[in-house]
Copies of this chain bind each other. A is one copy, B any other.
Amino acid sequence: MATLFLIPTPLGEMPMPDWLAPAQLQRVQHLQHFVVETAKVARRHLKTLGLHTPLQQLWLQELNEHTPDHAVAALLAPLQAGHDVGLISDAGCPGIADPGAKLAKRAHQAGFTVCPLAGPSSIVLALMASGSDGQRFSFHGYLPADTATRQQTLKQLEQRSRKEKAAQLFIETPYRNMAMIDSLLQTLAPDTRLTVACDLTLASETIISQPVAKWPRNQVDFHKRPALFIVDSTQ
Contacts and interface: CB of A to CB of B under 8 A. Distances in A.
Given A120-B118, A121-B121, A136-B139, A107 B93 contact: no
A144 interface: no
Contact of A139 (B17, B24, B93, B137): B137
Nearest to A193: B105
A95 interface: yes
Contact size range, A = 35 or more
Nearest to A130: B104
- Copies of this chain present in the complex amount to 2
A95 B197 CA distance: 15
Contacts of A209: 104-105, 108, 114
Interface of A: 6, 14, 17-24, 93-99, 101-102, 104-109, 113-116, 118-121, 123-141, 166, 200-201, 205, 207-210
